[in-house]
């Protein structure tokens, strides 16, 4: 079985719905943050929906996915219930990870989403390990690991390119190049502006696509996963994209210039895809309004669910540190002070 490639009208509608859901969900999350119900860091992927949805739509449901901390979209696109995602963001007991992880650390193993991680570059070897496990077990899945332009400068990413090339592991390295790592621009941080040639240096086929165009992303990732699946070869795809918000909610986003932001705004992936859908008569304007209303309702419902969910009982603080717990301390094990 190969992954999906040609997009049927229904696929396109699903992709649009998924992008809308991510956009509205994250807008709602930013409100929850402003209201003080979400704490810590909240990294929004608004502007990057095409990169996320195009990727996930080209993957098989059993292809493992790993991501960075900017991963609400990955969970939602994989089909995780927005209610439990929002509940995790609010740190509630009904949250996807029981309130332990928060916004930066979503994981839905039941959907082969193997998590969002907070250490830049740190998740890439995990994606490689998932690929290793696939080959070890003789499976035909492909591991997809998404990371940022900034992360490509971590040494561990080069180490992973080498091992993937050396051992022909079934992995797609997806560089989500939004051109900034916090306040540092790509040109300020990288000796070369193109990032995918770094993978080529290890014999990995690699190319760059327009990450604001969901159909282009889907096509590229479909081809990449096909190669990794059928030819048992690692592949690297660089998605050129842009985030519309600051690095996180606490970043006033004063570094990027207004003219640049405006230029990328014109390429809003939702607006451009909507044009395609209307132009190709995949959806009518009425269909789109109806879908938007549905998604908005779903997001409101998720927020209500999260807000009304109970807090995590404090007595459970020390639960789950180990898979095989022990208690070697007469004063109360892990809760010892």
Ligand X SMILES: Cc1ncc(C[n+]2csc(CCOP(=O)(O)OP(=O)(O)O)c2C)c(N)n1
Binding site for Mg ion (CB under 5 A): 148-150, 178, 181
Of 25, 161, 173, 180, which one interacts with ligand X (CB under 6 A)? Answer: 180
From residue 130 to residue 149, what is the string marking binding to ligand X with x (rule CB under 6 A)?
Answer: ------------------xx
120 binds ligand X (CB under 6 A): yes
**Which residue from 121, 125, 84 is spatially nearest to 106, judged by alpha carbons?**
84
Distance from C-alpha of 318 to C-alpha of 320, rounded to nearest angstrom = 6
Reading phi first (left if > 0) and then psi (alpha if -120 to 50, else beta), residue 257 is in beta
Using CB distances below 5 to 8 A depending on partner kind, what does residue 337 bind out of ligand X, another protein, Mg ion, none? another protein
Of 44, 86, 151, 215, which one interacts with ligand X (CB under 6 A)? Answer: 151
Of residues 73 and 150, the one with the C-beta less far from Mg ion? 150
61 binds another protein (CB under 8 A): no
Q: Between residue 31 and residue 50, which ones bind another protein under the rule CB under 8 A? A: 39-41
Contact (Cβ atoms closer than 8 angstroms) between residue 47 and residue 242: yes
Q: Between residue 185 and residue 204, which ones bind ligand X under the rule CB under 6 A? A: none
Query: Which range in 179-187, 278-286, 292-300, 325-333 contacts ligand X by CB under 6 A?
Result: 179-187
Kindly report the number of other CB atoms within 10 A of residue 198's CB atom: 21
Which residues make Cβ contacts (< 8 Å) with residue 80, sequence separation at least 6?
A: 96, 106, 108, 111, 113
Of 30, 162, 184, 292, which one interacts with another protein (CB under 8 A)? Answer: 184
Kindly report the number of other CB atoms within 10 A of residue 304's CB atom: 12
Q: Between residue 234 and residue 293, which ones bind another protein under the rule CB under 8 A? A: 255
155 binds another protein (CB under 8 A): yes
**Which residue from 233, 261, 235, 204 is spatially nearest to 47, judged by alpha carbons?**
261
119 binds ligand X (CB under 6 A): yes
Enter the tokens of residue 285. 């304007």
| Strands of the sheet with 206-210, listed across from one edge | 113-117, 65-68, 143-148, 171-177, 235-240, 206-210
**Which residue from 191, 197, 113 is spatially nearest to 158, judged by alpha carbons?**
197
Enter the tokens of residue 231. 């030819």
Q: Between residue 56 and residue 75, which ones bind ligand X under the rule CB under 6 A? A: 68, 70
Catalog residues that contact ligand X under the rule CB under 6 A.
68, 70, 118-120, 148-151, 178, 180-182, 247
Catalog residues that contact another protein under the rule CB under 8 A.
39-41, 91-92, 99-105, 117-122, 150-151, 153-155, 181-184, 188-190, 255, 311-312, 314, 316-318, 321, 333-337
């Amino acid at each position: 079985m190969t992954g999906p490639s040609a997009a049927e009208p229904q696929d396109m509608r699903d992709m649009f719905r998924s992008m809308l859901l991510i956009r509205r969900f994250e807008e709602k999350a930013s409100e929850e943050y402003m209201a003080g119900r979400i704490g810590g860091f909240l990294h929004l992927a608004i502007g990057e929906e095409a990169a996320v949805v195009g990727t996930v739509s080209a993957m098989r449901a059993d292809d493992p996915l790993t991501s960075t901390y900017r991963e609400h979209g990955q969970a939602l696109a994989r089909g995780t219930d927005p209610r439990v995602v929002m509940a995790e963001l609010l740190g509630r007991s009904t949250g996807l990870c029981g309130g332990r992880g928060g916004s930066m650390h979503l994981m839905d193993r039941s959907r082969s989403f193997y998590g969002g991680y907070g250490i830049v570059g740190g998740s890439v070897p995990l994606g490689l390990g998932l690929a290793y496990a696939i080959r070890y077990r003789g499976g035909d899945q492909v591991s997809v690991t998404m990371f940022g332009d900034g992360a490509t400068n971590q040494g561990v990413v080069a180490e992973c390119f080498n091992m993937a090339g050396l051992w022909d592991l079934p992995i797609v390295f997806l560089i989500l190049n939004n051109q900034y790592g916090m306040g540092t621009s790509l040109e300020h941080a990288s000796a070369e502006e193109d990032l995918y040639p770094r993978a080529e240096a290890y014999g990995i086929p690699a190319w760059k696509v327009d990450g604001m165009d969901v159909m282009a992303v889907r096509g590229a990732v479909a081809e990449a996963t096909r190669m990794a699946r059928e030819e048992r070869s690692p592949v690297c795809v660089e998605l050129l994209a842009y985030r519309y918000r600051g690095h996180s909610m606490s970043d006033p986003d004063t570094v990027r210039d207004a003219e640049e932001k405006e230029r990328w705004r014109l390429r809003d992936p939702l607006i451009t895809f909507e044009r395609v859908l209307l132009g190709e008569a995949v959806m009518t304007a009425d269909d789109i309004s109806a879908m938007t209303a549905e998604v908005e309702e779903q997001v409101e419902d998720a927020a209500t669910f999260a807000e009304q969910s109970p807090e995590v009982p404090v007595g459970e603080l020390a639960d789950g540190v180990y898979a095989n717990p022990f208690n070697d301390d007469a004063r109360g094990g892990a809760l010892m002070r």
